[in-house]
Amino acid sequence: MKQIILSLTALICSTVLFAQPTAKTAADVAKFTAESVDLGKIKVGNPTTAVFTVTNIGKDPLIIEQANPTCGCTISNYTKEPIAPGKTGTINATYNAAGVSHFDKHLTVKFAGVDEIKSITLSGDVLSAEDYDKWAASNDAKLKAENELKAKETDNNKTKSKVKNVKNLNKSTVPTSSMSTPVKN
């Protein structure tokens, strides 16, 4: 009986001593604002950059070890310094847009201390110069109208109250609504 108890105790102690901590995943240490960026319509021959923002959600500084594109048509650059907990870093991916077509390009991201490889994606449509110019001309009018509408809405919402110190010398009360007047900037 002593041998069984001694064997079980030895087994439990060795299991506890040699137990591996649970491996961290990318989701444990980093959160991307977006894991996929659509670059929209791009003119052929016009390299375009997507910016991926990553937040350190762990307790230790986050280091981006690698951010590698899966093909030669994309170039990446990323924050090389450790990212403090709660702070952000970036991964820039530039697509060279050499050929007319739709594209989905992936980058593999490796964080220090994490075995998992994270994949992020940039996509879009490369148009010929002629098609891009037609698309831009038809969309410029729409964008201009939308921007004008947003500007008007912003101007209409830019009212504020002037605050004044008022002393009531009368015996009657003064309603507070008469004490502030909306003013346009």
Band of pLDDT at residue 164, cut at 50, 70 and 90: very low
Where is pLDDT greater, at 163 or 15? 15
Q: Is residue 159 part of a domain?
A: no
Domain that residue 91 falls in: 21-128
Whether pLDDT at 64 is above 50:
yes
Domain at 96, CATH number? 2.60.40.10
Whether 62 contacts 56, CB under 8 Å: yes
Asked if residue 135 belongs to a domain, the reply is no
Confidence (pTM)? 0.66
In a domain, 163, yes or no: no
162 within some domain: no
Each residue's pLDDT tens digit, 67-85: 999 888 888 899 999 999 9
Residue at 8 is within a domain: no
Separation between Cα atoms, residue 170 and residue 42, nearest integer Å: 69
Q: Could you read off the pLDDT of 92-127 as tens digits, one per residue?
A: 999 999 999 999 999 999 999 999 999 999 999 999
pLDDT in tens, 136-150: 888 877 767 766 776
AA letter at 81: E
Locate 34 and state its tokens. 């977006």
Look at the chain and report how many structural domains it folds into: 1
Residue 14 lies in a domain: no
Three-state SS across 95-145?
ECCCCCEEEEEEEEEEECCCCCEEEEEEEEEEECHHHHHHHHHHHHHHHHH
Residue 177 domain flag: no
61 within a domain of the structure (yes/no): yes
